Amino acid sequence: MNLEQQTVTRRALVTGAAAMGLAVPPAVARAMQGQQNPPSPPERNLPPVHIGFIGTGVQGQFDMNRLVRIPGVKIVATCDIYEPNLKKGLEIARGAQGYDDYRRLLERRDLHAVCIATPLHLHARMAIDALEAGKHVFVEKMMAYSIEEARQMVRAVRRTGKFVQVGHQRRYSIHYHHALDLIRKDSIGQITHVRAQWNRNGSWRRAVPDPKYERLINWRLYKASSQGLMAELGSHQIDVCNWFLNSLPVAVVGIGGIDYYKDGREVYDNVQVIYEYANGVKVTYQSLTTNAFDDCSEQFMGKKGTLIMRLNGSGELYRERSAEELDFARFARRQTIGGREAIVLDAGATTQQDKRERTAGVPLASSGASKDDYFLEFEDFIACVRENRKPFCDVEVGFKDTVCILKANEAMEKGIKVTFKPEDFQV
């Protein structure tokens, strides 16, 4: 009996998401409904899912600390070419075998899947090699360094029958699914503009113990290994825009520069981009490294109101004065922010109009509240491995995000308006 057959009982969980009226990953659906879902007796006897983890730096360690908390998961192999990172990874994945060559790791026949959290320029080759070795893949965003590499990853998925899940964790957030549900219920009317930003006040540079490690540790600062702020930060938020708008951009313009940090970096320390979507919808995106004001958010602006999502999962809904009162508004918690009254978004509460007939403010997501977006993302990844099903944020989603980001970089570098062609999004 294979891993898929042994876990067929878990497929019943998918129906819960369908009942909510949205395409929701089962792990997220359970969290939104506040279900503890203790494993049934047959599931307790499941063999562990064996994971190989490639790239145990800062992000890799962050991811590993969530993976090892998921029941039935065992990280049996780790890989990193930088010995201090490899050592830290082995401290998290106790009992795992360490490698300095990912190809040796992929030779292991006991691996069901691999996770890749290496510098961007290594993603595609490692992911394709893993797929060819018969492993499912989780790869951190951005999916690939180039559009052609991303296409090759899609082709490899189709050829091998294995899947790739891309690390856009907002797709697994109970808060973002709640916000999308409100948008689809016409809470803010037709969206005409979106403002998104991710501002930080810091050089993005990491200390190195020896100059020979500069490009290994500070890979994000160099063009040979990085696609800059748009890839590392903007890709998360443009993915949300594509998802919420259920559309892809038709054109993009932008400007960026290395204007403050004169430290030898090759990627911009600030970017300002405008995407145009169908029906004239504009998405403005900004990322700074010299000022953290307003931090990180996406603001969806419609004819009836504005919905704001923030990095910590909080959010607010502001109504236009001309808009009619929302049915649930009289039950919702309100807060004055910046002199304006906002309806505070609460993914862990429902209204009197809810089919579950619960009163506003009753927590529904108590089990999910202790699970951040990354945990839910990996929880669903493991479920996809067990059930051999396509992830919610799969390689096709990641490919389209990659096209959107790299065309914005092209627009900034060339100082032109770049128009998207249908073939840009085709494999």
User: In CATH, what number is assigned to the domain containing residue 48?
Assistant: 3.40.50.720
What residue ranges in 142-240 does DSSP mark as E strands? 164-167, 191-199
- 387 within some domain: yes
* 352-386 core/surface letters (b: 16 or more CB in 10 A; e: else): eeeeeeeebeeebbebbeebebbbbbbbbbbbbbb
Main-chain dihedrals φ then ψ at residue 220, nearest 5 degrees: -65, -15
- 250 within some domain: yes
Question: Which strand ranges, in their side-by-side order, compose the sheet holding 73-79?
Answer: 97-99, 73-79, 49-54, 113-116, 136-140, 164-167
Task: Give pLDDT tens digits along the chain (427 positions).
Answer: 345 443 333 333 233 333 334 588 988 888 777 654 444 444 556 678 999 999 999 999 999 999 999 999 999 999 999 999 999 999 999 999 999 999 999 999 999 999 999 999 999 999 999 999 999 999 999 999 999 999 999 999 999 999 999 999 999 999 999 999 999 999 999 999 999 999 999 999 999 999 999 999 999 999 999 999 999 999 999 999 999 999 999 999 999 999 999 999 999 999 999 999 999 999 999 999 999 999 999 999 999 999 999 988 888 999 888 766 665 555 566 677 766 776 676 766 543 333 333 323 222 233 334 678 999 999 999 999 999 999 999 999 999 999 999 999 999 999 999 999 999 999 9
Statement to judge: residues 265 and 409 lie in one domain? yes
- 67 within some domain: yes
Residues 6+ apart with CB under 8 A from 212: none
CATH number for the domain spanning 253: value is 3.30.360.10
- 364 within some domain: no
The Cα 16–Cα 32 span in angstroms is 10
Given a contact cutoff of 8 angstroms between Cβ atoms, the answer to whether 21 and 8 are in contact is no
- 388 within some domain: yes
Statement to judge: residues 151 and 203 lie in one domain? no
Statement to judge: residues 23 and 140 lie in one domain? yes
- 264 within some domain: yes
Statement to judge: residues 80 and 127 lie in one domain? yes
- 419 within some domain: no
Q: Name residue 309's beta-bridge partners.
A: 298, 315
Alpha carbon of residue 277 to chain centroid? 21
Statement to judge: residues 95 and 136 lie in one domain? yes
Give the number of domains in the chain. Answer: 2
Statement to judge: residues 210 and 326 lie in one domain? yes
Statement to judge: residues 107 and 211 lie in one domain? no
Statement to judge: residues 160 and 180 lie in one domain? no
- Give the total residue count for the chain: 427
- 305 within some domain: yes
Q: What is the pLDDT of residue 23?
A: 80
The model carries a pTM of 0.86
Measuring CA to CA, which residue among 212, 229, 234, 217 is closest to residue 266?
229
Statement to judge: residues 274 and 201 lie in one domain? yes
Task: Provide the domain limits for residue 383.
Answer: 3-171+375-394
Calculate Rg over the CA atoms of the chain: 22
Statement to judge: residues 239 and 293 lie in one domain? yes
What distances in angstroms separate CA 167 from CA 200, 375, 391, one per listed residue? 21, 11, 11
Q: What is the pLDDT of residue 3?
A: 55
Q: What is the pLDDT of residue 10?
A: 32
Q: What is the pLDDT of residue 311?
A: 87
Statement to judge: residues 293 and 346 lie in one domain? yes
Q: What is the pLDDT of residue 30?
A: 80
**Please, what sign has the CA dihedral across residues 346, 352, 356, 360?**
positive
Residue 47 DSSP symbol = P
Statement to judge: residues 179 and 228 lie in one domain? yes
